[in-house]
Amino acid sequence: MQKKYADLLKTKCCKKSYEKLTALNNAGLFEFVRKYTELCNPDSVYVCDDSDQDREYIGNRALENAEERKLAIDGHTIHFDGYNDLARDKTSTKYLLPQGADLGDALNATDKETGLEEIHRYLKNIMAGKEMYVLFFSLGPTNSEFSISAVQITDSSYVAHSEYILYRRGYEQFKKIGNSKSFFRYVHSAGVLENGVSKNVDKRRVYVDLEDNIVYTVNTQYAGNTVGLKKLSLRLAIRKASQEGWLAEHMLIMGVHGLLRERITYFTGAFPSACGKTSTSMLKGESIVGDDLAYLRKKEGKIYAANVECGIFGIIQDVNPKDDPAIWKSLTSPGEVIFSNVLVTEKGVPYWLGDGREVPEKGSNYSGEWQKGKKDSQGNEITYSHKNARYTVSLYGLKNVDCQLDNPEGVWIKGIIYGGRDSSIWPPVQEAFNWTHGVITFGASLESETTAATLGKEGVRQFNPMSNLDFVSIPLGKYVAHHLKFIEGVPVPPTIFAVNYFQKTKTGKYLTAMEDKRVWVKWMELRVNHDVDAVKIPTGYIPRYADLKKLFREVLRKDYSEGEYAEQFTVKIKGNLEKIERIAEIYKTKITDAPDTLFKVLKEQKARLEESRAKYGDNVVPTVFL
């Protein structure tokens, strides 16, 4: 039987590819590749190692297959997804659970046996006439306790090319795990292509098998659905982390540089898509370790974090030279960049929403040939660039990349930030009373108004604990309890903060400018290093006006008035109380295993808010708490 499998792979692989595969000496890997080679039935199988030659081969194939095309600037390419395949598909993304397993009503799951039968039916002969790519990567720095080995099978050279930019090469690391079964696996096919995009989007499926650490994704090209090592891996990692006592989170990692003295303080931060996560990690004057995914571990009484990735798959809307100078330089200079779903002119120049340039009259975009005024079949005007258009770049090419990016030990985390899109309740920045208070009232109670990064209506306030709801792969109550327990043995855990860049007046005007987040971050750096005091309010601590006035002058060279401070930091008692009721109801009715501590902390916060309401009314200016 083994000879039969070997004969199959010898037939599909060239001699060199077959030797690369067998050199890993891992029976589980060999069987995985054999099984899906037989099922998907590609014309050939190309196995990649860590060589530059294989990386170059994948990049060239993306051009030859017309999944990407060259742009005017050297190294830049454009990829288009299908018109109905432009965001993560949460409805079709499901966990495959065996009989008796239950993740709770809040998470999308289906019967494993039924799901596997369906996905295998879709995968049957799906790669006929195509080339299958087998690639190896490391989640986290290589040769580190943060490392998780991963293998990707795909027929999309675009997906493979994206992963080469976003992840560290892991073939040599795979050799070191020997015959271990402890690695993540991904199977992807774009399916039948029509005009270069997935045709059968109605049969798009993204299934996650937690038992066997396998992700299946089919009939889709959009990277959020297909790049296995990104959010799909996060689902596998969260379960693994809960079993082993660490955290896998939807978090940036950044180094904040002190104003008072030469120091770098590291923060992580969790924000839903399009809520400022990447722009925060890329703030002027700071250094980026990562913009999206982080693993956190305890070592010697401290919390350390490492970036799962080494690149950025970022939302490009509103990236401009004034607000995002480092990214702008990367996107307009020679070097490897994949643009997706932006407008491209005949001269090969990309344009996107909010870039500050005059919009061309015509070009090519995600809808095909485009000109001003073009409408879709429902009569809706088609924007020249999609709201969820993206760029894929390597971190190594950014001038503000932190020198600790590949440190196998990770970086010491002194602060954790939770942020969302909130037009009315949260102030621009606040600090939790302690770890438990922060996990529950900032993290586990996180709400955010929806954006174009996921399918569905925009502007709807959605519950999104730790900005991770779409990716949590254990019961939510257990997930919250795991966070509460995580800092056992850590004498001084990281300080937890909440930020909100999207406060609005009743007329819809934003109360803060985009660059103001530079001030909020500098204040948090001062707080975790015990350099400034704060004002205690019912929901935590907020900055003193004098400290912010000084920071606005030092960081942004602009004045900050007492009126601005009062408007931004007024405590909205009614809104906060309504939020507590919403959150408590969710945990009571939809999350049956929520820890008792959660309800206790919410009850205590409610009591503080009601006490303030009795004294001062519904809207309380911060000066009354001095």
Q: Model confidence over 16-28: pLDDT tens digits?
A: 999 999 999 999 9
The per-residue b/e assignment along 305-328, b for 16 or more CB within 10 angstroms, e otherwise, is: bbbbbbbbbbbbbebbeebbebbb
- Percent of the chain topping pLDDT 90: 89
Where in the chain is CATH 2.170.8.10? Answer: 314-397
| Side-chain-facing half-sphere of 134: CA atoms under 13 Å | 29
- Per-residue pLDDT of 377-397, as tens digits, reads 899 999 999 999 999 999 999
Q: Is 388 labeled as ligand-binding?
A: yes
Residues of the chain with CATH 3.40.449.10: 2-66+92-244
Task: Note the Cα 414 to chain centre separation in Å.
Answer: 21
**Partners of 381 in the beta sheet?**
375
Q: Directed axis angle between helix 27-40 and helix 2-12, to 10°?
A: 60
**407-440 pLDDT, tens per residue?**
999 999 999 999 999 988 999 999 999 999 999 9
Q: How much is the mean pLDDT over the chain?
A: 95
- Beta strands 251-257 and 193-194, pairing class: unpaired
**Short-list 222, 241, 214, CA closest to 338:** 222
Q: Is 294 annotated as a binding residue?
A: no
Residue 209 assigned ligand-binding role: no
Within 8 A by CB and 6+ apart from 379, the residues are none
Is residue 292 part of an annotated ligand binding site?
Answer: yes
Q: What is the pLDDT of residues 531-549, one digit of tens each?
A: 999 999 999 999 999 999 9
**Token digits for 258?**
């002190």
Region 347-366: what's the mean pLDDT?
96
- Cβ neighbours of 80 (radius 10 Å): 28
Per-residue confidence at 370, pLDDT binned at 50, 70, 90?
very high
Residue 510 in marked binding region: no
Reply yes or no on whether the pLDDT at 103 is more than 70: yes
Query: Which residues form the catalytic set?
Result: 275
Residue 250 annotated in ligand binding = yes
Tell me whether residue 215 is exposed, middle or buried, using C-beta atoms within 10 angstroms of its C-beta: 0 to 12, 13 to 18, 19 or more. buried
Distance separating alpha carbons of residues 386 and 383, to the nearest angstrom: 6
The fold for domain 314-397 equals Phosphoenolpyruvate Carboxykinase; domain 2 (2.170.8)
223 is in an annotated binding site: yes
Q: What is the mean pLDDT of residues 242-264?
A: 94
459, pLDDT greater than 70: no
- 518 marked as part of a ligand binding site: no
Classified by CATH at the fold level, domain 2-66+92-244 comes out as: Phosphoenolpyruvate Carboxykinase; domain 1 (3.40.449)
- The single residue listed with the structure tokens 């120049």 is 349
Q: Which backbone phi and psi does 5 adopt, to 5 degrees?
A: -65, -40
Q: What is the number of alpha carbons within 13 Å of residue 1 lying toward its C-beta?
A: 2
β-strands 168-169, 131-139 pairing:
antiparallel
Distance CA(469)–CA(59), nearest Å, equals 34
138: annotated binding-site residue? no
Buried b (16+ CB within 10 A) or exposed e, 248-272: bbbbbbbbbbeeeeeebbbbbbbbb
* Bridge partners (DSSP) listed for residue 136: 151
CATH classification (class only), 248-309+405-625 = alpha beta
Euclidean distance between CA atoms 278 and 227, whole angstroms: 18
- Is a pLDDT exceeding 60 seen at residue 452? no
pTM, entire model: 0.94
φ, ψ for residue 539 (rounded to 5)?
-105, 5
Q: Cα dihedral sign for 393, 394, 396, 400?
A: positive
All CATH 3.90.228.20 domain ranges of the chain, comma separated, are 248-309+405-625
Q: Which two tokens stand for residue 457?
A: 């209506």
- How far apart CA 307 and CA 139 sit, in angstroms, is 8
